[in-house]
Structures are given as structure tokens and as C-alpha cells.
Amino acid sequence: MAPRRVGVDVGGTFTDVALAVDGDLVTAKVPTTDDQSDGVIDGIRRACETAGIDPETIAGFSHAMTVSVNALLEDDGATTALVTTAGFRDVLEIGRQDRPSLYDLSAEKPTPLVPRRRRFELSERTTPDGVEQSVDEDEIRSLAAELRDREVESVAVSLLHAYAQPANERRTAELLRAELDVPVSVSHEVLGEFREYERTSTTVVDAYVRPTIDRYVGRLTERARELGVPQPRIMQANGGITDADTVRENAVTTVLSGPAAGVVGARSTVADATSDGGEADGLVTFDMGGTSSDVSLVRDGAVARTTDGAISGHPIGTPMVDVETVGAGGGSVAWIDAGGALRIGPESAGADPGPACYGQGGTDPTVTDASLVLGYIGSTTSLGGALSLDERAARDALARLADEAGMDGPLAAARGVYRVANANMTRAIRSVTVERGYDPRAFGLAAFGGAGPMHALSIADDLGIKRVTVPRASGVLSAYGLLAADEKRDAVRTHQRRLADIDPQAVETVYDTLSEELLTEVSDPEAATVEYAADCRYAGQSFEQRVGVRRPFDAASVTEQFATAHESAYGYRADEPVELVNCRVTATVPRRPPSIGSDSETRDEGSGHAGSDTPSRTECREVVFADERHETPVYERSTLCPSHEITGPAIIEGDESTVVVPPSWDVQVGCDGTLRAEVNGQ
């Protein structure tokens, strides 16, 4: 038997668990708790009880959380100080000259994570070519005393040009670590590339969330030990997992770890969606949870990644899965703005008290309340297999919204809430497809998350997407993605030269140094694969295009690769010199996803007979599609067998998620339990 492994993903409303045990997949969904470790342990216990196993028999534990994101969104991180070069105290506040909202005259920049009174200057000077003025060690010791008096909880050090010449920064960090009993984040260790603002911002984010991550991971590790579960391995934003001790030292890598796990899970379970006859150019992943919706792309079997991310307006330059997030989830609150327009989110009812229909004291109308009133969720449905719903409370909440907006009752309000939520998510998908030169009609859509399959087919209609795939265990796919994720580490170093004049051996030395560093950090260097990339640009450009690099380094080949990539992205090649900017290395230790049969396979083997040709209905109920009422059959997903076909309209219910099938769609059940939906006649 394969080792038993568990993955736990913490969301804004629910904590999801996927347990691979003896060739089967056991799932659980429990409310997210204030101390996220409580919900994690509760979820593992529940999954083990369902599987009938002892937690001590689990051999692997992978985890994704929202601790770092919450700290940034809620301004609840550590009391942080920034140490920088004299004259550069305000880089963090000045930022860039670009305006995210160009025509918004009242737009404000985000408040810096470190206020000016906690930003300190050192008398030192370094250029990209060397140190011109060394740091004064007495000055650093005096600074340490002041930081101690101010009771700072974390320190970020970002000195000018430390990405190229880190001697001054390294010595500053050594002295501060010796003098202070707080974590010190150092820019050349966090992000070894140029651009002072982005490097400083990333280092500050790391320092800001590091004490919180350290406390949480330490607490979770101790509680896992008490339960008899191995130390957690943590999902990073880059789509790979690593050990707990590493993320406690590199906290910024945990930002967006949950959404990254979902994209990895989609790539793993829906790989065939992009390989059946070449009908799709790739996959749009759509993860709708209780608080937000996350969309991303998978092209050529690879998850899209970026180094230009930002959370709450704070740039983060470390590699992360390229996810677009909108504040539209099942728990998102519907409200009327000053102009009388219906809006959804970003405020969420969360897990406590939750949507009005949860019956836990919530009174605000939410997307989940609208889905209940429209019939997409049944009044007897139990969310997560345990939480019962109160339809009267949902109608009352929507009735109040209808009165405020001048709508004709709760049903009209429910239709409006559903449409506006879909419009928000459709815009997010357009932002990762149309706005980047991709036609969404050429892609498949993978829908998951607790609420994703409820909205996916309607959104696909709006975008002209003809095929939607709903993986097995779609409601907890991020948790499953933790079981499928590889171990991954990244490194970068700026090496800015024109390719026509470059010394190939110097570049080889940079790649060798970076790869050696990474191979000492991964768990199994012999099993690791190492990939090389280069950030290049035309001379005079202020942005780069990433291309793969083969060893030994060949400048002519990289130049041609860059020109091809630039033409593909922007439609033209330029007759300008090409510059190498950054050298990048990624080390990956592959992990094999658990081999898991479908629910129907397990059931049929146990009963000794195959499933019937026709799926059986559990009930019929009135459901609203496009302002029309339809008497709609309801199916229990766990009873469906491979080759079953369902013609819309239909509702397919599961413990973790519900699939809403409009009249214009058909659904077929795959041999692995995956649901594949296509537009009628396509």
C-alpha cells in the first residue's frame, strides 16, 4: 500500500482536508477557526474518523494556509523596522510613478507596512561594482539599542545594490542578529535582484509576516506531534512545497499558498482536458471559495507563474503562481452602493456567523443565500456534509436587499446577486486571458472550490467556453493539490549585460552557484531536476520577458528565444540589442500524486456489480435558470458511475460542492469520477 498522506488547506470560510488512504480519497470540510491550527487538527481528526484509521498511521502531512495573507490584508503583522542606506529612507513610500487607477483623482497609495518613524538610515555606500564605504559597526550597534528600546518585533535590511555586492548588508545583518532577539530579513537573501523598491517591499513583507508565520507553524507542528502526525510540509506561493523550518525563515514564500495549491491540483487532475485532440489551448482554473475567487492559467501542462505579484498594494517579487483574485465567494455580502447599484463583496460573512442561511446569527445577504433561493442548493442540503441551511433566513435577508434596491422581492434580488457575482468572476477570467492576448474560447475551464462548480457553466456561457471540467473532490481540490505538489525551490541573481557582449563563462558561474545553493536546500538532491531561465529585454525597455535556458549558455540561442517570446506576447520583434537582466534557477524534487480510484469504482468493487446505465435521481425541485423556472432533477454525485450521462437542466450534489447544469449543457462522468460538461451539440 502507498503511504497514507493528508493535505489540509485553510480557506476564509472552510478548512478542507484530503486524505489518501489505501488507494481511496477521504475528504472533510470543517469551519475555519480563529486559530487556524484548531480547524486543521479538527479536520484531520474528522477525515481519520471517516476513514477508520489512526492519525498516527499518516506518513505525510502537507498544508496551505492564509496566515500571511490575512496579516497583510488586515494590517495585523509584526511591529517592523526597516534599515536602509542613507538617503533612501523613503523608497518604500515613494514607490513607482505609475498609477494603478490612472483617472482616479482620489486614488491613494497603500499605507507602508513600516511607518517613517521606524525607517532608519546607515552611512554606507555600495555600487553594483563594489563597496565604496563600509558600514560603521558602532553605528549598527547604536541602532540595535534604539530598535530594542522601541520594542520592534522584526527587522528588514535593504541596502543599496546589495543584490550585487552584499558585503555591507551581510555584516549589518550579522551584527543586528547578534544584538537583537528578533528575526532579521535581509534583501539579498529574500530577493537577490535589482529594483530597489520591489526588493525593499518584498523584504519588508517577509519581515512583517515572519513572526506570525513562525508562531503559527511552530504551534501547528507541536499540535501535529501531539496528534501523532508528521511535521507539516508547507505549500509555497510558487506552487511547490517545502519543509516547515524553511518557511519560518522565508515567510514571504507562503503568500497565496492556498490558491497555488488549487492550481496545482487542477493541473494534476484535469491534465487530459488540454490533450484530447488538440481542441484546447490550455486550461483556465476557477476556484471559488467562501471569501474570494481565484483564476489562473495552465498552458502546455505548466502552471503560469509570475514575479510581479502584489498583496494589498505591496509588491512581492518572489516567484508565485500567477493568480487573479476577486472578492466574490459564497460568503461575499451583497450591498447597494451610493448610486443604487448592486455590488458583491469584498466583505465576507466568513465562517462565523456566515451567510444568513447558515442559521448562526448572520443577517447580511450573500451569494450562498441567493443560490439557495434560486434552487441551486436545496433547503435540505447539508454543506460540508454537516451544516444544514435555513431558507427562510436567506429569503428574509434578500428581501431586505430587494427593498433597499427597489427590486421585486427576494427572488429578483437572488437573480441579481448571482448575475453580479458571475460578472465579477468573468472579468477576472478575461484579465488572465483576453487582456494577455489569449482567446478564452480556445481554453477549457476547470471548476473547483466549494462554490466554483455552482457558477462555472454559466460563466463559461458568458465567455464562449465550450468545455468545463469538475474534478473529483472539487470542493477540496486545493487540499488534494497539496498531495500532488512537488518540492520546489527558486533562486535569482541579477547579472545585467548585453547578450552581444556577454561572457558565457561568467553566466555559467552564476548558474552553477545558484544551482549548488538550491541543491543543498532540497530534501533529495539526487532526485532533483534543475531548470534554468533568463529574464531578458530590449535595450531601453523597463520590463523583462522570461525564457528558458539550456546549458552551456549560448547568447545567440537566448537572443532568438527572447525575440520569439516577445513577438508572441507583444506582436513584434525590435531591431534593438537584447540585454540579459536576471539569471533564474528552479530545483524541483518530483512527488507522485496518490493513485486514487473513483467513488464508483470503489463502490462497484465492494458490491460485486457495475453501476446501472442510467443515473438515479434523488429528487426534483424547481430551479431558476435565466429568469425561467425549470423542474430540475437532482443527482447525488457519489452514486454516479463512469459513462453516466446527464442532460441539463440538472443539479449534481456532493458533500463539498454542487454542480449546477443549465439547460444548454450535458455532463458525462469520467472513469476517475471527473465530470466533463459540454454545450449541447458541441
**Tens digit of pLDDT for each residue in 408-461?**
999 999 999 999 999 999 999 999 999 888 899 999 999 998 889 999 999 999
Question: Which carries the bigger pLDDT value, residue 475 or residue 401?
Answer: 401
Element housing 33 (H / E): none
The percentage of residues in the chain with a pLDDT greater than 70, rounded to a whole number, is: 94
Q: Of 224-238, 266-280, 475-489, which gets the smallest average pLDDT?
A: 266-280
Residue in 305, 149, 285, 141 with CA at minimum distance from that of residue 238: 305
Residues 6+ apart with CB under 8 A from 535: 544, 545, 546, 580, 581, 582, 584
Percent of the chain with pLDDT over 90: 71
pLDDT value, residue 299: 87
What's the rounded Cα separation, in Å, for the pair 176 and 290?
42
Task: Report which DSSP code applies to 464.
Answer: T
* Residue 381's pLDDT band (cuts 50, 70, 90): low
Q: Is residue 641 within 8 Å of residue 669, measured between CB atoms?
A: yes
C-alpha–C-alpha distance, residues 666 and 678, integer Å: 5
Q: 447: which strand partners?
A: 286
Give the pLDDT score at 273. Answer: 45
Could you tell me which residues come within 8 angstroms of residue 275 by beta carbon, excluding any fewer than 6 positions away? none
pTM, 2 dp: 0.87
59-77: per-residue pLDDT in tens? 999 999 989 988 888 889 9
pLDDT band at 224 (very low <50, low <70, confident <90, very high): very high
pLDDT tens per residue, range 159-208: 999 999 999 999 999 999 999 999 999 999 999 999 999 999 999 999 99
Among residues 165, 111, 113, the alpha carbon closest in space to that of 134 is found at 165
- Specify the length of the chain in residues: 682
Q: Could you report the per-residue pLDDT of 480-520, keeping only the tens digit for each?
A: 999 999 999 999 999 999 999 999 999 999 999 999 999 99
Identify each DSSP E strand in 550-593 by its residue range: 578-589
Confidence of residue 600 (pLDDT cuts 50, 70, 90): very low
Query: pLDDT tens for residues 7-40?
Result: 999 987 789 999 999 888 898 988 888 899 999 9
Average pLDDT (473-482) is: 90
Pairing of strands 650-653, 658-661: antiparallel
pLDDT band of residue 56 (cuts 50, 70, 90) is very high
Name the band, by pLDDT with cuts 50, 70 and 90, for residue 348.
confident
Band of the pLDDT at 256, cuts 50, 70, 90? confident
pLDDT band at 275 (very low <50, low <70, confident <90, very high): very low
pLDDT of 258:
87
- Nearest residue to 636 (alpha-carbon basis) of 656, 665, 622, 666: 656
pLDDT one-digit tens code per residue, 601-624: 444 443 333 456 678 788 899 999
- In order of their start, the domains of the chain are 73-213 (3.40.50), 257-327+425-484 (3.30.420.40), 332-420 (no CATH), 487-589 (3.30.1490), 599-679 (no CATH)
pLDDT score, position 292: 83
Look up residue 333 and give its three cell numbers.
455580502
With a CB cutoff of 8 Å and minimum separation 6, the contacts of 39 are 10, 15, 30, 31, 32, 33
Question: What sign has the CA pseudo-torsion 415, 419, 420, 421?
Answer: positive
DSSP state for residue 360 in the 8-state scheme = S
